[in-house]
Amino acid sequence: MRRGIITRFHSNFAVVRDEDEDLTTLCTLRGRFKLSNIKPMVGDRVEYILSHDRGRIESILPRTITLKRPRVSNVDTVVVVLTRSQPNVPWSMMDRIIAGVELSDVNVVLALNKIDITPKEEIKEFESIYAHYDVVLTSAYTMKGVEELEEHLKGHISVFAGPSGVGKSSLLNSILKSNLKTGSVSQATNMGKHTTTSASLMELENGGFVVDTPGFVTMNFQNLEPSKVQELFPEIKAASLGCLFDDCVHDAEPGCHVKELVEKGEIARSRYESYINILHESEGEERQ
């Protein structure tokens, strides 16, 4: 029995990248998967049997994170691509997207793209506001920051996300062109990308995989417990330890350390305002 990861899936066949060897195999699925209405996903870690140049998937190992758009499992890193020029994405939109990613409990990397056309003061402000995150300054046009971003993908299953027009696909294509592992898919698979019915995992030269299409971030916080909202804002969560009351939600309570740090400029006011907006959104659902 071998272990591997599904990198592509089509109908009743899956391309599996072996976990221990430099081997990629086209695998069939056991009939019991269809009888049990179990559909494998790209990103699934599986156990399979190899016979000659074909394989058969025997079992699917437990999944961690499962994305709906694209339909991929076991993603552990999300690269949020943002811009402050063409388009100038509002801070509030940035924060909602980042908070939506935080809901999934994955590693978050922020890529400020198009820095070749972004004023330096905008770049510095971005770095200051999001200093508690891994921030990479990138340009798909000049390839600035692409190598640094690749280091954050190493050893992970990653997906790119972000609003329209920020260059997600261009940046992703820059990484794939410069760092795609060659010869990773055998000719025997005979499954061109155009035949796949879902996203694919592309193996990178330095290790790890990246989803070949950008993802979609859900930004619905209405079913979130208000006390959990601060967990979507790492700097607010950390500062909450200094609050007078353990159950402080940093809105109207006295002795709030978070609000003190906002007044001192140690927590960006834009971040606090985004937090409050999401907090009230969650409380509105709670009162219904």
Domains and CATH numbers, the chain: 2-60 (2.40.50.140), 66-211 (3.40.50.300), 226-287 (1.10.40.50)
What is the token pair recorded at 87?
Answer: 């388009």
CB contact at 8 A, 18 and 24: yes
What is the token pair recorded at 205?
Answer: 């030269």
Task: Report how far residue 114's alpha carbon sits from residue 260's, in angstroms, rounded to the nearest whole number.
Answer: 34
How big is the chain, counted in residues?
288
Task: Report how far residue 260's alpha carbon sits from residue 183's, in angstroms, rounded to the nearest whole number.
Answer: 56
pLDDT tens string 240-269 = 999 999 999 999 899 999 999 999 999 999
pLDDT tens string 150-209 = 999 999 999 999 999 999 999 999 998 755 443 333 433 444 443 344 689 999 988 899
The arithmetic mean of pLDDT across residues 84-92, rounded, is 96
- Got the DSSP string for 19-51? SSSS-EEEEEE-HHHHHTT----BT-EEEEEEE
Sequence-ordered alpha helix ranges (H) in the chain: 31-35, 91-102, 120-129, 146-153, 168-179, 234-239, 257-264, 269-287
Task: Report how far residue 274's alpha carbon sits from residue 76's, in angstroms, rounded to the nearest whole number.
Answer: 25
Judged by average pLDDT, the poorest of 18-22, 138-142, 203-207, 273-277 is 203-207
What is the token pair recorded at 180?
Answer: 């795609």
- Model confidence band, residue 277 (pLDDT cutoffs 50, 70, 90): very high
CA distances from 196 to 7, 17, 102, 192 (A): 11, 16, 29, 7
Largest CA distance in the chain: 70
- In 3D space, the residue among 60, 161, 155, 50 whose CA is nearest the CA of residue 113 turns out to be 161
What is the token pair recorded at 96?
Answer: 């909602």
- In 3D space, the residue among 34, 78, 95, 40 whose CA is nearest the CA of residue 215 turns out to be 78
What pLDDT score was predicted for residue 202?
93
What pLDDT score was predicted for residue 178?
58
Strands 54-60 and 45-51: antiparallel
Could you tell me what percent of the chain has a pLDDT over 70? 91
- In a 10 Å sphere around its CB, with 0-12 CB exposed, 13-18 middle and 19+ buried, how is residue 165 labelled? exposed
The arithmetic mean of pLDDT across residues 128-147, rounded, is 96
